[in-house]
């Protein structure tokens, strides 16, 4: 499967089935299929979608899609709209092609709810989850905390210090999940975390 905005592991894709299935839309058997229960499609009514399956080809062809919560609004079949009190003010000019492409991208499996990040007037590419070890390995200085603070919004930056055990100097693991994104235009990294 190839997605512009999703380059993370398959197990991070929401509603992805792990076995070959027959698509409820095109009737063909496919190795990669998704549950349609919470999808966007005009092929079935809301009640009819329950238990139905859509294949990768039908997703890429726009026969169904997925809603996404982004930092600048909620993306559904009606476009990108601000959810009061939840999203930042939208000063971005995201193209109709980018909106369509993200709808044809699987959701990210998260504990709370995904928050698709943006940069350079476009949605960022989800690359997977990171642990403190990943920050240490990818930091130009070898100091993972510095990279974490650089990539994480200020209101979420307390995680690193709160995860250190008393007397511990180097953080190697933590309890939450950190979702990493990369800008497809300038390669800037950004991320956020959540937990159960």
Write down the number of H helices and E strands in the chain: 6, 14
Q: What is the pLDDT of residues 133-186, one digit of tens each?
A: 999 999 999 889 999 999 988 888 888 888 888 888 788 888 889 999 999 999
Look up residue 20 and give its DSSP letter: -
Residues 6+ apart with CB under 8 A from 41: 25, 49, 54, 63, 64, 65
Rounded CA separation 80/5 (Å): 16
Q: Which two tokens stand for residue 105?
A: 């991208």
Question: How far is residue 110's CA from residue 62's CA, in Å, rounded to a whole number?
Answer: 24
Cβ contact 13:54 at 8 Å: no
Phi, psi at residue 58, to the nearest 5°?
A: -70, -35
Phi, psi of 132 (to 5 degrees): -55, -35
Distances (CA, A) of 172 to 92, 122, 196: 36, 32, 20
pLDDT in tens, the chain (196 residues): 999 999 999 999 999 999 999 999 999 999 999 999 999 999 999 999 999 999 999 999 999 999 999 988 889 999 888 765 555 555 567 899 999 999 999 999 999 889 999 999 999 999 999 999 999 999 999 889 999 999 988 888 888 888 888 888 788 888 889 999 999 999 999 999 888 7
Distances in whole angstroms, Cα of residue 19 to Cα of each of 2, 61, 114:
18, 21, 25
| Token pair in block for residue 138 | 């990818």
- Which residues, 6 or more positions from 139, have their beta carbon under 8 angstroms from its beta carbon? 146, 147
Q: Are strands 39-40 and 125-130 parallel, antiparallel or unpaired?
A: unpaired
Could you count the other beta carbons within 10 Å of the beta carbon of residue 41? 22
């Amino acid at each position: 499967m190839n997605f512009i905005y999703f380059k993370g592991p398959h197990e991070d894709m929401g509603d992805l089935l792990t076995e070959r299935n027959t698509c409820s839309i095109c009737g063909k058997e496919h190795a990669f299929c998704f549950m349609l229960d919470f999808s966007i499609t005009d092929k079935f009514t809301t009640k009819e979608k329950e238990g139905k399956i859509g294949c990768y080809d039908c997703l890429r062809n726009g026969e169904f899609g997925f809603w996404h919560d982004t930092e600048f609004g909620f993306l559904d079949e009606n476009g990108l709209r601000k959810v009061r009190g939840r999203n930042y003010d939208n000063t971005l000019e995201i193209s109709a092609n980018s909106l369509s492409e993200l709808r044809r991208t699987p959701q990210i499996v998260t504990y709370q709810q995904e928050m698709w990040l943006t940069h350079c007037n476009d949605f960022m590419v989800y690359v997977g989850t990171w642990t403190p070890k990943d920050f240490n390995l990818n930091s130009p200085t070898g100091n993972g905390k510095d990279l974490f603070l650089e990539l994480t919004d200020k209101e979420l930056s307390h995680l690193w210090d709160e995860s250190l055990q008393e007397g511990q100097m180097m953080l190697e693991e933590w309890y939450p999940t950190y979702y990493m994104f990369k800008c497809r235009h300038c390669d800037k990294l950004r991320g956020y975390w959540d937990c159960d």
